[in-house]
């Protein structure tokens, strides 16, 4: 896994862009210090910007009740992406790739691109 930065270099509820194997990866930190990594490329706006979006939560109704989904809104046209899966919350047919990521001793490590979407 590639160490990209210290966790405290990412403000809570924001993202940074990391260069991982030649690709721009957006790494986000949520309010409760969870870390997620998505492609930085916004498939709607077709630009490498997602790490600069606003991070928050959205209530999504599921069969088994409401769920609080951490998401980032694209800074271009505000499409919301689920930080955990990369899925667009307004259009389930669209998703951005996600990367494995974890924090070890205060350092954020980004691993391999995930092959399939988690759900």
State the residues that interact with other proteins by CB under 8 A: 2-5, 9-14, 16-19, 21-24, 27, 30-31, 39-41, 45-49, 52-59, 68, 70-71, 73, 75-76, 78, 80
Cα–Cα distance measured from residue 83 to residue 68, given in angstroms and rounded to the nearest whole number: 12
Residue 4 or 88: which CB sits closer to other proteins? 4
Residue 31 or 118: which CB sits closer to other proteins? 31
Burial of 104 by CB count in 10 Å (0-12 exposed, 13-18 middle, 19+ buried)? exposed
Residue 36 or 71: which CB sits closer to other proteins? 71
The dihedrals phi and psi of 73, each to the nearest 5 degrees, come to: -95, 125
Closest distance of CB 7 from other proteins, Å = 11
Closest distance of CB 83 from other proteins, Å = 12
Cα–Cα distance measured from residue 39 to residue 21, given in angstroms and rounded to the nearest whole number: 12
Q: Is the dihedral angle over the CA atoms 69, 57, 86, 109 positive or is it negative? A: negative
For residue 43, what are the contacts with CB-CB under 8 A and spacing of at least 6?
94, 96
Closest distance of CB 15 from other proteins, Å = 9
Residue 17 or 84: which CB sits closer to other proteins? 17
Q: Could you give the 3-state DSSP secondary structure of residue 51?
A: helix
Closest distance of CB 76 from other proteins, Å = 7
């Amino acid at each position: 896994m590639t160490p990209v930065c210290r966790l405290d270099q990412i403000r809570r509820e924001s993202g940074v862009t990391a260069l991982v194997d030649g690709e721009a990866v957006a790494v986000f930190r949520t309010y409760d210090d969870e870390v997620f990594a998505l492609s930085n490329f916004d498939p709607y706006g077709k630009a490498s910007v997602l790490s600069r979006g606003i991070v928050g939560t959205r209530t999504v109704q599921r069969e088994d009740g409401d769920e609080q989904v951490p998401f980032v809104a694209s800074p271009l046209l505000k499409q919301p992406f689920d930080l955990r899966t990369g899925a667009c919350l307004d259009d389930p047919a669209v998703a951005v790739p996600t990367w494995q990521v974890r924090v070890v001793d205060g350092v954020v490590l980004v691993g391999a691109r995930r092959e399939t979407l988690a759900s």
